[in-house]
Amino acid sequence: MINSMTGYGQAKGEIKGAVFTVEVKTVNNRYFKTVIKLPELFAFLEGDIEKLLRKNLSRGTVNYVLRLKEMSMNILFDIDEKALQEMVEKLNRAGAAAGLQGSFDIGNLLSLPGIVRPVSPDEEMTEQIKEAVTAVSREAIDKLRKMRSTEGSYLEEELREYCAAIEKDLEQISVRSTDVVKEYAKKLKLRADLLLAEAKLKLDEETLAREVAVYADRSDISEEISRMDSHLQQFLQSCQENEQAGRRLDFISQEMLRETNTIASKTSDCEITRCVVDMKCMIERIKEQIQNVE
């Protein structure tokens, strides 16, 4: 069963008092492309997340966003207590030297450079963050893949309907192609008889047979019909057996269009031409839809 390239998954997790959510959204793209957005604290995970996405998804533009919802201050910032103590001592000495007395506003002290600094996670914390984010990311990706699978089942059903319509037109072309040569022979003989009647000449049956044979060879579409039927079967089989069949289906649809154009170039029969036009319309719809297939 095929998968769609369009999907969405979300999951929530918690680490060290920080609540975060992971959102993974995909849209169609001929190739695989990732857009990863992380808070500064989680920036070191970008490479691991990239590998995780590539392992689980093969095609499409993947938008990955990690958002911090609730957080404790100790996971984001740390106070350099030694620097704060040294600053207080310096201010006290400066105040005593100037004959000044007073108290300090802790808020003003914390705003001084170097007192409050972003947390740099140690090795243990890094590993905990990595495990938590990876687990939540997998959960979001699983939800995304489930949605892509559901969308893919609808796509497959629609593609099968288009293939069934093409197969029906192909059967009509096959039946009609056997009658075209016979009708051509009758029309050619009738026209020749009318033209030669005035001259009181008789048509050479061997000449007529040769002309009909040339026409039959020039307008023979049996190979194209056979190849077209083979392409249809390969297309349906790929839908059934390959979850990541987008590129293969795209190639097969191009071959289907090629055979249809060849059939059109070899015939001047109105009924066959009508069927060819219908087939080309169905193939264009197929090509449009498989742009969304992974």
Model pLDDT for residues 175-201, shown as the tens digit of each residue:
877 766 555 555 555 555 554 455 554
Q: Could you tell me if 254 and 206 lie in one domain?
A: yes
Handedness of CA 44, 49, 52, 54 (dihedral sign): negative
pLDDT tens profile 36-69: 999 877 888 999 999 999 999 988 999 999 998 7
Q: What percent of the chain has pLDDT over 90?
A: 45
Considering 114, 138, 168, which residue would you say is the last residue of a domain?
114
DSSP 152-189: HHHHHHHHHHHHHHHHHHHHHHHHHHHHHHHHHHHHHH
| Residue 146 covered by a domain | no
Q: Are residues 163 and 105 in the same domain?
A: no
Distance CA 52, CA 33 (A): 13
Domain boundary among 64, 99, 114: 114
pLDDT in tens, 12-24: 998 877 789 999 9
Verify that 163 and 235 share a domain, yes or no.
yes
Residues 210 and 274 in one domain: yes
Of the candidates 196, 210, 288, the one whose C-alpha atom is nearest the C-alpha of residue 250 is 288
In a domain, 35, yes or no: no
Predicted local distance difference test score (pLDDT) of residue 218: 59
Q: Residue 245 domain-assigned?
A: yes
Does some domain include residue 100? yes
Let me know whether 160 and 97 are in one domain: no
Judged against a pLDDT cut of 60, whether residue 6 lies above it is answered with yes
279 and 174 within one domain = yes
pLDDT band at 78 (very low <50, low <70, confident <90, very high): low
- What CA–CA distance (Å, rounded) separates 263 from 20? 59
Are 97 and 200 part of one and the same domain?
A: no
Tell me how far apart the alpha carbons of residues 141 and 48 are, in angstroms, rounded to a whole number. Answer: 14
Based on the fold, state whether residues 89 and 211 are members of the same structural domain: no
Count of domains observed in the chain: 2
Mark which of 96, 114, 132 sits at the end of a domain: 114
One domain for residues 89 and 187: no
DSSP code string of 82-109: HHHHHHHHHHHHHHHHTT------HHHH
Mean pLDDT for 112-133 is 73
Residue 110 lies in a domain: yes
Same domain, 98 and 167: no
Within-domain flag for 26: no
157 belongs to a structural domain: yes
Q: Which residues pair with 8 in a beta bridge?
A: 25
- Same domain? 203 vs 101: no
For residue 11, is it within any domain? no
Average pLDDT, the chain: 80
Q: Which structural domain, as residue segments, surrounds residue 90?
A: 81-114
